[in-house]
Chain A
């Protein structure tokens, strides 16, 4: 049976339909889950999409993390289910403490909206399972607060434990270690600033995002994290 991807919709999310279309084109079903829902329903993976949840008031993700749905997302993640946060979704996951570190305003205060080249740095996370380390992917970024930062000891730990999932080939925003995406220790929760759903069709200029979304779908239904 096709995997079902739950896509959480916060007030101000704006990439949920793009993610739905991208995963549907890869053969999965998409289920939009409202932020006020207290359960996810029958889903095999969860995506927190990009956008500006609650208008980024206070800090991006600071209010969304207290949404009723986030309790269900945390339980799903604790059970080993694959959870991916894209852009604003990544910010929500760091604010919720499901991922280490934080996202800061870009170096030079630049709003960045362009394609970048990424290098995969992990071949076991829910977004990169089975993808050879060092694979080059062209995927767009579209953010103002995407400069990844973490305490020195946290940074050392995630580097040592292989929790860096993606790096920028050329650092666009000042992220430490050129980090574009990280995962939790088991690897089932992943956050990334680039938008794989915007590189999911030839007409969009790149299909490389399908490598990541395909890896996510391959993790669906496994009892253990990838």
Chain B
């Protein structure tokens, strides 16, 4: 069965406070950096998924995101499946 490399990006939902992002953004002037805003911190989770096809891999990971990898109260997930499978 082919193996798909999957990247899950977990981000805080809009409107949810992000104290890490805010702290990073406040520190930018100390580095002499201006013009950078909207800093938000999330998580990147990489997985290898054995599935018959790309849709099958995506289904497995979508289910994992809903039940485990995110807390839907505060987080969203974006799933990217590598276009070419490694067999």
Partner-B contacts on A (CB < 8 A): 58-59, 62, 66, 94-95, 101-102, 104-109, 147, 149-151, 174
Tell yes or no: B85 within 8 A of A by CB: no
CA gap between A174 and B69 in the complex, in Å: 24
Minimal beta-carbon separation of A127 from chain B (angstroms)? 22
Residues from chain A with Cβ under 8 Å of B69 in the complex = 58
Cα distance A20–B12 when bound, in Å?
37
B16 touches A149 (CB 8 A): yes
Return chain B residues, CB-CB under 8 Å to A106.
19
Interface residues of chain B, those whose CB is within 8 Å of chain A, are 16-17, 19-20, 23, 68-69, 71, 73-74
Q: How many A-B residue pairs have CB under 8 A?
A: 34
B71 near A102: Cβ-Cβ < 8 Å: yes
With beta carbons under 8 angstroms apart, the residue of B19, B23, B73 that contacts A102 is B73
Whether A62 and B19, one on each chain, are in contact in the complex, defined by CB atoms closer than 8 angstroms, is: no
Residues in B whose Cβ lies below 8 Å from that of A149 = 16-17, 73-74
Chain B residues with Cβ under 8 A from A94's Cβ?
Answer: 73
Closest residue on chain A to residue B12 by CB atoms: A104
| Nearest CB on A from B44, distance (A) | 13
Task: Say whether A104 contacts B68, CB under 8 Å.
Answer: no
Give bound CA distance, A58 to B45, whole Å: 10
Establish whether residues A109 and B71, one from each chain, have CB atoms under 8 Å apart when the complex forms.
Answer: no
Q: A108 contacts B73, CB within 8 Å? A: no
For the complex, give the distance between the alpha carbons of A105 and B12 in Å: 12
Closest 7 CB pairs of A and B: A102-B73, A109-B19, A102-B74, A105-B19, A102-B71, A59-B71, A109-B23
Given A62-B68, A109-B23, verify A174-B17 contact (CB < 8 Å).
yes
Residues of B with C-beta under 8 A to A101? 73
Q: Would you call B19 and A95 a contact (CB within 8 A)?
A: no
Q: Are A108 and B19 in contact (CB under 8 A)?
A: yes
B16 touches A105 (CB 8 A): no
Given A104-B17, A105-B20, A174-B17, are A150 and B71 also a contact pair (CB < 8 Å)? Answer: no
Q: A59-B71, A101-B73, A106-B19 are in contact. List 17 more A-B contacts (CB 8 A).
A: A58-B68, A58-B69, A62-B68, A62-B71, A102-B71, A105-B20, A107-B17, A107-B19, A108-B19, A108-B23, A109-B19, A147-B17, A149-B16, A149-B73, A149-B74, A150-B73, A174-B19
Q: In the complex, what residues of A have CB within 8 A of residue B71's CB? A: 59, 62, 95, 102
A-B contact pairs, 29 of them (CB 8 A): A58-B68, A58-B69, A62-B68, A62-B71, A66-B68, A94-B73, A95-B71, A101-B73, A102-B71, A102-B73, A102-B74, A104-B16, A104-B17, A105-B19, A106-B19, A107-B17, A108-B23, A109-B19, A109-B20, A109-B23, A147-B17, A149-B16, A149-B17, A149-B73, A149-B74, A150-B73, A151-B73, A174-B17, A174-B19
Instruction: Chain B residues near A108: list those with CB within 8 A.
Output: 19, 23
Task: Give bound CA distance, A106 to B22, whole Å.
Answer: 12
